[in-house]
Chain A
Amino acid sequence: MNPTIAMITFRSMLGRRRALLLFVLPAVLLILSLVLRLTNTNDLDVDTTVLQRFALGAVLPLLALIAGTGVIGPEIDDGQIMYILTKPIPRQVVILTKLAVAIVLVALFAAVPTLLAGVILGAPAGLTPAFTIGVLVGGVAYASVFVALGVMSRNAVTIGLLYALVWESLFGNFAPGAKKASILQWSLSVTHSLTDASTIKTAVTLPTAVTLLVIVTLAATALATFRLRSLTVASAE
């Protein structure tokens, strides 16, 4: 961990108008929950739908994508990463710091709003803490995968989108096999184990899910470190 790199990264992510994108997504979630609560239309089914399909299924992947690729991708693109790489700082420290910033951002803008949305909805059966932890765990895995993507490819955002939307959402609905290989389902499995609500269906058992989450997180971090060791900085487009 390097506090200076962390500070610079935070500033680049939250500076000026860029933060707007990070604020809008959770704001929509909170407004949705508030409207549902005020019109008194929420029950167990509705709460699960909002938390599962919107908080976990839409806000989390998008935010993790923005945060994960945003902490390192633009710097590599415009060559600013050189100022960090030419300092005597080990590459794994650089990656771990960037990853930590991404995880903090995901926690702030996805996990905390999920908690608030659950509280606003007054979700029964321990759904609120279960989904908060599910989002947090999924956020760590997503962030590490997207940071690795950001180091490896200049089209990281597009590839990440294809994974999160096409593979997890689209194929996940048709092919049960694709469903098992998705971070979303693994986090849902963690959520499932923490609540006794009958409305959550999961495709993966808890031990498998936790093992895969840990393996993917560690592998992605290691890969990112490895790739950053031999990074070639090309000029912009």
Chain B
Amino acid sequence: MSVSTIHDIGYRHYDGKRLGRAYVTRSMFVHNLRATYGLGRPARAKVMPFVLAGIMMLPAVGDIAVVAIAKQPKALFAYTRYQFMLQLIISIFVATQAPVLASREIRFHVVPLYFSRPTGHLDFVLAKLGAFTTALFALTAVPITTLYIGGLVTQVPHSGKQLAHFLGGLAGCLLLSLVLAAIGMVVAAFTPRRGFGVAAVIAVLVVSSALVSILQGITEHTGHWTLSGWLALFTPFNLVDTVSYRLLGGPMSAPSAPPGTGGGLAALALCAAIVLGAVAVLYARFRKAGLS
């Protein structure tokens, strides 16, 4: 006979449906996805993401206009190159929005409120990472879809090849979104102070990109072509460009890439390692933030 008993002191019972783990995870995903674009938050939070999304659209719209008016089908941008061309804008989007998802709960010490509900630590991390990946995918995939539709409307030749390239471009966008979301959220989760998260994420993205482009220039100048190619693995945009060049059949946008299909597979493996590592690090980080 157990000593403790729960007494019915007359409160109203909950008879409704028990919404399980999937529902909680889905709610967190939707909430974080909306937060990335500032939906459900004041107008001030909507300005930056939508301005950047608008800037992302400009070259695509302009390019379609050129193709349509000047009848120059060759002027249509390659789908896998688009995200490489606009990497600065994407970097700024990642830097400004990653702290929105990864820093705010830690800064205001409200993570325990999530974990006092039936929310798994892993679900929490996956929902956040998934939401940011989806937001980034929307940012990068909408312009190239616009490009593709524009190409269809203006009847650019080789529609089969165009479709294959477009699907390759979408795959590249998805991979880039995963890698950038992973890097951005890990860095932002460790710099909860306001403003510092933005600076830290952009520092990682811009400095790695500047460093790699300088080193690639120098190694090519001295004739070390293979080394120059492998250096592409050290910055996210070149890394994903390597995958789309070697495995998805797009043109090369970066100055150089690792040689052969092996190089592409190595880049893909590194992408997977970054994402899995980020999940592990974020899991540990939010679990600790939940305890304190």
Contact = CB atoms under 8 A, between A and B. Distances in A.
Interface residues of A, number: 40
A224 to B, nearest CB: 16
Given A58-B206, A58-B207, A66 B196 contact: yes
A217 B17 CA distance: 63
Contact of A161 (B190, B198, B207): B198
A161 B210 contact: no
B214 A21 contact: no
A159 B222 CA distance: 39
Interface residues of B, number: 32
B214 A158 contact: no
Interface string A149-188: 0000011111001100110011000000000000000000
A151 B195 CA distance: 13
Interface stretch (A49-57, A89-97, A105-113, A130-138): A49-57
A165 B217 contact: no
Nearest to A156: B195
22 contacts: A18-B196, A24-B203, A25-B207, A28-B207, A41-B222, A50-B214, A53-B214, A54-B214, A57-B210, A58-B210, A69-B199, A73-B194, A74-B196, A156-B195, A157-B199, A158-B48, A161-B199, A161-B202, A165-B88, A166-B88, A236-B108, A237-B104
Interface of A: 17-18, 21, 24-25, 28, 32, 36, 41, 45-46, 49-50, 53-54, 57-59, 62, 65-66, 69-70, 73-74, 77-78, 154-158, 161-162, 165-166, 169-170, 236-237
Interface of B: 44, 48, 88-89, 91-92, 95-96, 104, 108, 190-191, 193-196, 198-200, 202-203, 206-207, 210-211, 214-215, 217-219, 221-222
